[in-house]
Amino acid sequence: MPQGKPLTVPDDGLSTRERRQQPLLMVHTGDGKGKSTAAFGLAIRAWNQGWNVGVFQFVKSAKWRIGEQTVLERLGELHRETGEGGPVEWHKMGAGWSWSRKEGSETDHAVEAAEGWAEVKRRLAEESHDLLVLDEFTYPMEWGWVDVDDVVETLANRPGRQYVVVTGRRAHPRLVEVADLVTEMTKVKHQMDRGQKGQKGIEW
């Protein structure tokens, strides 16, 4: 709801308009559904505003293609063809990042995750995107594959107007601390508890 009224007006010397325009660092965490889905939903909205969207999936086994990737890449194609919306890039770690495809080598997920973060860091410095989705990035942070201090400082001090969404369970407390908007998705009830498996069209 765009008409939401702030509870307090901070004494930061900014006008409402300037404050409204501050780019956000968002975190979707918790054990429930919808963390990534809501992030890709934001990407769809961003595309519609003509923003440059970059999605980075830090998923060990993301060899499959999810529906959102097909749709967002199709929207990126529409942008190139007709000028509608904005440009879209979608990268995933699972089968090796597209920018560093290594032939025949064994995959070391820790090394791959660190490479992915190094690329995201370069893009943040160059302000390549308006919205960056770092999907399931809480796990490389949890497992020590990337340096938490480096991540937190880089995200907190990113230049310009770059929106960032990080998704995944157990978001690091330091990430939560620097984030502007943190939402926890909690499972209240799930059909898997009844013995039902994931479904095409709903789960991927």
Question: What residues numbered 51-70 form the site for a second copy, per CB under 8 A?
Answer: 51, 64, 66-68, 70
Nearer to a second copy (CB atom), residue 80 or residue 102: 80
Q: Considering only 90-98, 103-111, 145-153, 181-189, which stretch makes contact with a second copy by CB under 8 A?
A: 181-189
CB of 202 vs a second copy, minimal distance in Å? 6
Nearer to a second copy (CB atom), residue 16 or residue 157: 16
* By CB under 8 A, residue 15 contacts a second copy: no
CB of 169 vs a second copy, minimal distance in Å? 11
> Total residues contacting a second copy (rule CB under 8 A)?
75
Residue of the chain from 113, 132, 166, 179 that contacts a second copy (CB under 8 A):
179
Residue of the chain from 13, 15, 16, 105 that contacts a second copy (CB under 8 A):
16
Nearer to a second copy (CB atom), residue 105 or residue 199: 199
Binding residues among 137-176 for a second copy as defined by CB under 8 A? 163, 176
**C-beta neighbour count of 84 within 10 angstroms:** 12
Residue of the chain from 81, 106, 149, 193 that contacts a second copy (CB under 8 A):
193
CA distances from 181 to 21, 79, 118, 178 (A): 14, 29, 24, 9
Residue of the chain from 71, 96, 148, 169 that contacts a second copy (CB under 8 A):
71
Main-chain dihedrals φ then ψ at residue 25, nearest 5 degrees: -105, 115
User: Which run of H or of E encompasses 56?
Assistant: strand 53-57
Distance, in Å, from the CA atom of 36 to the CA atom of 56, rounded to the nearest integer, reads 11
Nearer to a second copy (CB atom), residue 156 or residue 202: 202
Binding residues among 112-131 for a second copy as defined by CB under 8 A? 131
Residue partners of 15: CB distance under 8 A and separation at least 6: none
Nearer to a second copy (CB atom), residue 2 or residue 104: 2
CA distances from 196 to 34, 35, 67, 169, 189 (A): 18, 20, 21, 22, 12
* By CB under 8 A, residue 95 contacts a second copy: no
The separation between the first and the last C-alpha atoms of the chain, rounded to the nearest angstrom, is 28
Distance, in Å, from the CA atom of 146 to the CA atom of 149, rounded to the nearest integer, reads 9
Distance, in Å, from the CA atom of 81 to the CA atom of 52, rounded to the nearest integer, reads 15
Phi-psi domain of 97 (left: phi exceeds 0; alpha: psi -120 through 50; beta: other): beta
